[in-house]
Structures are given as C-alpha cells and as structure tokens.
Amino acid sequence: MISEFKERIEKRHERSRELKKDGKKIVACFYGLVPKELIHAAGIIPIQLIEERNPQYEEKSELLPYLCGMSKNLTGQIYGKVFDYVDGVMVGTVCDTNRHVFDIWAHRKLFPHLFLVRAPSTASDAAVIYYTNELKRLAGELEKISGKKVTEDSLRESIALYNENRDLFGQFYDLRPKTDISAEDAVYIFSSGLVTPVEEHNDMMQRFLSTLATTSQANNNIKLMLCAVNLNMAIDVIRMSEKYGASVVTDDLPHNARYGSNKIDMIGDPFEALARGYLRKVPAPGIYSFEERATDIRDRMAKAKAKGMIYLIQLYCDAYAIEYAILKERFDKWNLTHLRLEAEDTPSSIEQLNVRLQSFVESLL
C-alpha cells in the first residue's frame, strides 16, 4: 500500500496529464492557504505545486539568489513546462516572496488563469464578511474555467470530502507512533494527498488504515519530531537521523498546512463556513497564532513521546525563520529540546547538517 502512496507522488505529472486527457480541469495551488474546497466545488481538481530537486530549475527561474529555494524551484519548473497540464494557478499569500512571484507569473502570462487569494490575517466579523465575498468572487472566476457553478450544495460536499481527508490523516497520526510505519513512508502518505484527487486519496487512506497494524515491538531509537517545509529536505533529515540512531516519530509538514488542521465547521452558509475555516485556522507563519502553533508542536511531541524536535528551515525563507524566532521563546520556557537547522535543497547543503544533527542526537542519549 505504501508503494501506492509513493507512486502517486513520484508519477504525479503523468497522472495529472491522464486526468487532463480525460477532460478534467486542473488548478495548481501555491500552498496551504489556498481553499481547495472551492476549486473542487467548481468541478476542478486542485493539485499542489511541489518542489523537485534539480538545480537547473533554480537557475532557470532567473530569480534573485537570496529568494527562497521553494519559489525559485517552482518558477524554474514552470518555465521548464513541467506543469503543462495546468489550467490555472491559485496563490494564497503566505509571505512576501510567494506574493510577488505571483506578479512575475502573471506578468509573463505563464498560465491561462491566475488567481491571488488574499486572506485577511484576522478573523473578525468584518474579515469574515470580506473573505466570504472574496470566496464568492473566486468561485465565479473558477466557474469560467469549468463551466460548473459552485452551488451551496456542491461546496458543502467538497468541504465534507476534505474534512474526511483531514479526519483520516488525524487517525493516521494518532496511530503512527504505535506502528512500524517509517518516517519516510509517512511523508509519502502525507504528500500524496497534495497531488491526488481527494476522493481517491480518501479511498486510499481508508484502505490503508483498515490494514494498519499496531506493533508491540519496542524501538529503542531516540524519538524525534520534525518540522519542515520542503519535502525533499525532510526526507534527507529523516534518513540522516536514522543514521545516528534516532527515529522521526511524528512530523509537522506545513507545506500544505490545511491538512492536519482542524476540520471546517459546516454551519450555515458554506462560503462563510469556508471563510471561518481558513481565517487564522491554517498554521501559516505570521498569520496563525504563535501560541497555538507552539502548543500544537509541544502536544504532538508529547503524544508521540518525542524527546527532541528538529525545526528545519529552507535558506532565505524569512517567514519560517521569523516564526521560529518567536516560537523559540515558548520552546525555551518549556525546556523543549530542539535543534534549528537551515539549508538549501541541495545534497551538498544538506550534507553540512550531518555534524550538528549527530551531536544533537547524541545529546539526547
């Protein structure tokens, strides 16, 4: 079953091209603040733009060297026509960088349709009203691509499907420390959800959970939690930790921060429910409550009995670097043992983390 998840992520472009051939419309999302439920309700398949390790893409992007690798990599992939099957792109503003690469993509007319989602950073009544109207406006734009109207009922159905997916992820994360699922496999299970139609991923998760056995075999490795944005880097750090006798037993991969977040409360008007479900509810840096973010990390560590936490930042990502600086005050107050690592998504940059990671693991023995 794990191979099925892995294949979904490895063959994501081939699979998307097949969907396209079958007449499906596809909108790519630049991260977790994009309300995928809305895209789905318009009869379009949302897929996430995911980094792919290849230094050529960063060069191809021609973006300034001190911009984050994520933006450079995605832009390079777009210039390299990797996402030739995409009908449009929706960018949810997380940071200045992803906000402004949108302008470059729009200026260069790289996609037939480009949408910018600017969610308010508060959840006041005025913000909810504004964002509800913004979602309705976006629904109208999406309808032009698919020809399918976003009705209250279709939006309710889409929210229910994504809630089910979050619920299944929640079940998996609860069970995971009691199973022998490896940390790397957990990344595939998670990341396949970013690029697979939600109905199919729900089905995969249900089948997977129904066969997931708990194990009584004790693993004496040092247990760690990993917080990371970049999936390739996360896998490298997982492998490196294992080399030094540690196991990543839980993680927080806010790449698609909507997953693993609370479910959307379906009360009343579904557009308003969606607005309320995203405003200050998605753990994006600087937008979400720092207190809740820190508490969530602490609770996940406690649940998985993790002894230490690694907070991995991609070089030049100010958003997560600033978030870390604020979270650190809480971590220190709680004596939460952790290690901040920063690197580029290249084998040589990751390699340089070896010594720090090894001494961190040894300090936990």
Among 320, 324, 331, 360, binds ligand SF4 (CB under 6 A): 320
Told to check if 346 binds ligand SF4 by CB under 6 A, we report: no
CA 194/CA 188 separation, integer angstroms: 10
Residue nearer to ligand SF4 on the CB measure, 73 or 250: 73
Nearer to ligand SF4 among residue 77 and residue 314 (C-beta): 314
Smallest separation (angstroms) from ligand SF4 to the CB of 313 = 8
- For residue 309, list its beta bridge partners: 225, 338
146 contributes a contact to ligand SF4 by CB under 6 A = no
Nearest-10 crossing angle of helices 12-21, 183-195: 20
- Rounded Cα distance, 26 and 39, in Å: 9
Distance CA 246, CA 10 (A): 26
What's the CA gap between 129 and 297, in Å, rounded? 31
DSSP at 62: T
**Is residue 135 a contact residue for ligand SF4 (CB under 6 A)?**
no
What residue has token string 């930790």? Answer: 241
Question: Does 33 participate in binding ligand SF4 (rule CB under 6 A)?
Answer: no
C-alpha 300, offset from chain centre? 17
Rule CB under 6 A: is residue 282 a binding residue for ligand SF4?
A: no
- Between CA 237 and CA 284 the distance in angstroms is 22
Q: Name the DSSP letter for residue 22.
A: T
194 near ligand SF4, rule: CB under 6 A: no
Q: Which is nearer to ligand SF4, 5 or 320 (CB)?
A: 320
CB 284 → ligand SF4: shortest distance, Å? 8
Find out whether 64 and 3 touch, Cβ atoms under 8 Å.
Answer: no
Asked whether position 28 contacts ligand SF4 by CB under 6 A, the answer is no
Choose the stretch contacting ligand SF4; rule: CB under 6 A; options: 5-13, 90-98, 153-161, 338-346: 90-98
301 part of the interface to ligand SF4, by CB under 6 A: no
Q: Taking CB under 6 A as the rule, which mask of x and - marks residues 225-254 in contact with ligand SF4?
A: ----x-------------------------
Residues touching ligand SF4, count (CB under 6 A): 13
Q: Does 93 bind ligand SF4 (CB under 6 A)?
A: no
Contacting range for ligand SF4; rule: CB under 6 A; set: 166-174, 314-322, 328-336, 339-347 = 314-322
Measured from the CB atom, the residue of 98 and 202 that comes closer to ligand SF4 is: 98
Phi, psi of 90 (to 5 degrees): -120, 125
Give the shortest CB-163-to-ligand SF4 separation in angstroms. 25
Residue with tokens 């490298």: 236
73 near ligand SF4, judged by CB under 6 A: no
317 or 343: whose CB is closer to ligand SF4? 317
Q: 91: which strand partners?
A: 30, 116
Where are the alpha helices (H) located in the chain, listed in sequence order? 2-10, 12-21, 36-41, 55-61, 69-79, 96-107, 125-146, 152-175, 183-195, 198-211, 231-243, 270-278, 290-304, 318-333, 347-351, 354-363
Which residue in the set 135, 249, 317, 343 belongs to the binding site for ligand SF4 (CB under 6 A)?
317
Single out the segment in contact with ligand SF4 by CB under 6 A; choices: 34-42, 54-62, 317-325, 357-365: 317-325
Name the residues that contact ligand SF4, by CB under 6 A. Answer: 68, 70-71, 94-95, 97-98, 229, 314, 317-320
